[in-house]
Amino acid sequence: MQPVAATVVTNVINRAPRVAPGTVDAHLTVRLASSKSDVIAAQRLRYKVFCEEMGADLHRHDGRDVDQFDAYCEHLIVTDEALGKVVGTYRILAPWGARAVKRMYSEGEFRIDSLRPIAHEIFEVGRACIHPAYRSSGALARLWTALGAYVRDNRVKYLAGCASVPLDSGSLNLGALRAELMSRHLAPVDFRVEPIRGLQSLGDPSGIRPTAPPLLQGYLRLGAWVCGEPAWDPDFDSADFFVLLPIERMVPRYAQRFLGTHTAQ
């Protein structure tokens, strides 16, 4: 089944948060990229956030974050219509896109053999970012709303992705976060993956209250599993946790907000 782009856009417009006229949020719209220039704008935003702001080494110096998956992905974009500028983006690699490129993005970091039986039902999301000037606006909420509409309209069964924790957050925080994730959010053994590049000892997390990045917090609130130990991403110098969200186990109160409906009980 191919994505229902027009339906996604319609649903996002219908479900978009109400905003006061004259505010920045009043000028924000969200949709799937429909042209090469849309994708290039998203790639430029990713470069600004990941390379210029976060210091990632993506081995390019032309102002764009580009990889082999972009041509096979769909790209959600938030645009400030008053300025004609893309200020938020999130990309989706559908199962047919993964088949075309012959692997999932996450396979560069994890051995995912245990997930082969459901690979044809996994939609992989990633490269989410918001322009620094719009992080207190409704840009991120619009991306989540659009992703929820996409999930519902395409009858997605599993969302997956790599949730990154910057290593400059400190080894004790990362150790404490890992301990909490392993004890409270670990996937059943049949859904476990293994990191290709693991991390060395993270220190004693005892007594440390961990802090998780907002995107990882969002996945966990929805009911996502963490599928095992984190991998080291050398390009971003981060610890990446593979997260898997079976839509049917989504927390009901968040399912209503995310999907506009209740999941089956």
Three-state SS letters, the chain: CCCCHHHHHHHHHHHCCCCCCCCHHHHEEEEECCCHHHHHHHHHHHHHHHHHHCCCCCCCCCCCCCCCCHHHCEEEEEEECCCCEEEEEEEEECHHHHHHHCCCHHHHCEECHHHHHHHHHEEEEEEEEECHHHCCCCHHHHHHHHHHHHHHHCCCCEEEEEEEEEHHHCHHHHHHHHHHHHHHCECCHHHCCEECCCCCCCCCCCCCCCCCCHHHHHHHHHCCEECCCCEEECCCCEEEEEEEEEHHHCCHHHHHHHHCCCCCC
pLDDT per position as a tens digit, 181-194: 999 999 999 999 99
- Please state, in angstroms and rounded to a whole number, the distance separating the CA atoms of residues 105 and 163: 13
Average pLDDT, the chain: 87
- Please state, in angstroms and rounded to a whole number, the distance separating the CA atoms of residues 173 and 176: 5
pLDDT higher than 60, residue 95:
yes
Geometric angle at alpha carbon 130, from 45 and 144, rounded to 5°: 125
Angle between helix 214-222 and 252-259 (nearest 10): 110
Name the pTM for this structure. 0.86
Task: Tell which residue, 143, 126, 118, 155, has the closest CA to residue 216.
Answer: 126
pLDDT higher than 60, residue 105:
yes
Average pLDDT of span 60-69: 91
- Sign, CA torsion 73/78/84/87: negative
Residue 258's pLDDT is what?
82
More confident residue, 210 or 48: 48
pLDDT higher than 60, residue 18:
no
- Sign, CA torsion 249/254/258/264: positive
pLDDT higher than 80, residue 7:
no
- Please state, in angstroms and rounded to a whole number, the distance separating the CA atoms of residues 100 and 239: 28
Residue 9's pLDDT is what?
36
Residue 5's pLDDT is what?
38
In order of 3, 146, 184, 241, the CA distances from 32 in angstroms are 10, 9, 34, 26
Residue 58's pLDDT is what?
82
Confidence of residue 259 (pLDDT cuts 50, 70, 90): confident
Percent of the chain's residues with pLDDT above 90: 66
Average pLDDT of span 94-103: 97
Residue 208's pLDDT is what?
76
